[in-house]
Amino acid sequence: MSEPNDTTEKALDELRELMRDVDNLLNTSKENVDESVKKNSEKLNESLNSAKASASRAKESAAAGLEAARRAIHSYPVESAGVTFGLGLLLGILINRK
């Protein structure tokens, strides 16, 4: 039969090996998570840059539309007032409709 010290030493050796394996697994998991976070961060930055570019284009388009509306109002002030009145009247009728 084996002595109690041999059994204790084997158990301690197995426990140390288990602890090393767990430590290695945690380090590997951490590296995978870090890599995943890095990839997702890069994708997020790309999306953010794309959104900023889209917002910039939308702002430019809105500014161009506003300028065109200003020119039309200055060129045709009476017609613009009539259209505005008509749209307001139509909107009022639609809102108050039951």
The tens digit of pLDDT for each residue in 25-54 reads 887 777 777 777 778 888 888 888 899 999
Provide DSSP, 27-53.
Answer: HHHHHHHHHHHHHHHHHHHHHHHHHHH
Q: Between the CA atoms of 60, 80, 89 and 66, what dihedral angle is there, to the nearest 10 degrees?
A: 10
- Cα–Cα dist 40/28, whole Å: 18
Is the pLDDT at 98 greater than 90? The verdict is no
Q: What is the pTM of this model?
A: 0.49
For the chain, the domain total comes to 1
The tens digit of pLDDT for each residue in 2-16 reads 566 787 888 888 888
Cβ neighbours, 10 Å, residue 43: 10
- Domain hosting residue 78, numbered range: 4-96
